[in-house]
Amino acid sequence: QNEDKIRPEKLADYIGQKDLKGVLTIAIAAAKQRQDPLDHILLYGPPGLGKTTMSLILAAEMGVNCKITAAPALERPRDIIGLLVSLQEGDILFIDEIHRLNRVTEELLYPAMEDKRLDITIGKGQSAKIRSIPLKPFTLIGATTKIGALTSPLRDRFGLIQRLQFYQIDELTEIVKRSAQIFDVTIDQKGAQEIARRSRGTPRITNRLLRRVRDFAQVKGCKTVDQTLACEALDLHNVDRLGLDWTDRLVLSTIIEQFNGGPVGLDAIASATGEDAKTIEEVYEPYLLQIGFINRTHRGRIATEKAQEHLLNVGF
Ligand code: ADE
């Protein structure tokens, strides 16, 4: 019931990402004063940091609709055409994983973004004709975990390009408290901090861990979540003190034990662990890089001494 309320709906309720909020606050105010739609925005950074949430907030603040889709759902030209012609004036179109668009779809977006126009080719070869369809002004918000995989013509058509950062422990602690209130869970400061510390800088993980702690507290009949209870609940799920889960530790121990600490290529790690290479690169690796457990070199990945030490200490 309360589950869908954990996404903040107003910019003022969005915790963290101070720089991003600063930039967007100005963009919203300026667009509103001029009665223009927002400029096209590219949000990039690791998954789970709030790119979709931010788009929904922008739509709410601008008083427009937000249509959410992802590049893999835009396979045929008519998928993107249908979406674009259905937009009302000022609406936001959110495309997740925008680095995965196919070429035809991407090229349909260029005149749409730049001139509010769809250029549709009718027929083939010599007799092919281009028909232009006018579009209502709209805002495209693209989200990606891999900005380097975007073509420059697409990247250059965004007026705002913003990176989302991993969250600080104190910001995640605030998110735990906010979500706990919505879930009707009583939690003390140290309990909230423990969940925050184990969240890998990522609110999506924070809220997932909080749900598991809530289950644990409920079944054990505990009224208040404190640090001891949070630790017990999260240890049960093999989430260690730094928030690394079973897969994080498998990736690290594989590099250390099977490849002598590296350097080793991503594909070799993927086949040795049975994980998908893209998932390792986009989901697991960013945080391991951030905390200095992995280094990337031109010859592959290296597990650092810090990583070895941590694995020896966690004892799972
Ligand atoms: N829930 C998930 N992400 C959030 C954020 N950045 N602020 C507040 N609540 C959140």
ipTM, 2 dp: 0.96
Question: Phi first, then psi: what are they for 48, rounded to 5°?
Answer: 85, 5
- 145 labelled catalytic: yes
Confidence band (pLDDT; 50, 70, 90) for 216? very high
Best residue among 10, 20, 52, 53 to mutate for probing ligand 1's pocket (most ligand atoms within 8 Å of CB) is 53
Alpha helices per DSSP H over 116-275: 152-155, 169-183, 189-197, 203-220, 227-236, 246-253, 266-273
Ligand 1 centre to CA of 8 (Å) is: 6
Question: pTM, whole model, 2 decimals?
Answer: 0.93
Give residue 316's pLDDT. Answer: 64
Q: Which residues pair with 92 in a beta bridge?
A: 66, 139
Q: Which of 105, 144, 145, 254 is catalytic?
A: 145
Q: Decide if 205 contacts 199 (C-beta within 8 A).
A: yes
* Interval 185-196: pLDDT, tens: 999 999 999 999
The pLDDT value recorded for residue 287 is: 96
Does residue 207 carry a pLDDT above 90?
yes
- Given this model, what pLDDT does residue 8 score? 96
Q: What is the mean pLDDT of residues 9-21?
A: 97
pLDDT (mean) for 252-272: 97
Q: How confident is the model at residue 1 (pLDDT cuts 50, 70, 90)?
A: low
Residue 277: C-alpha distances to residues 267, 280, 301, 304 (Å):
6, 5, 13, 20
The band of 4, judged by pLDDT with boundaries at 50, 70 and 90, is: confident
The atom number, within ligand 1, closest to the CA of 178 reads 9
CA–CA dist 45, 248 (Å, integer) = 19
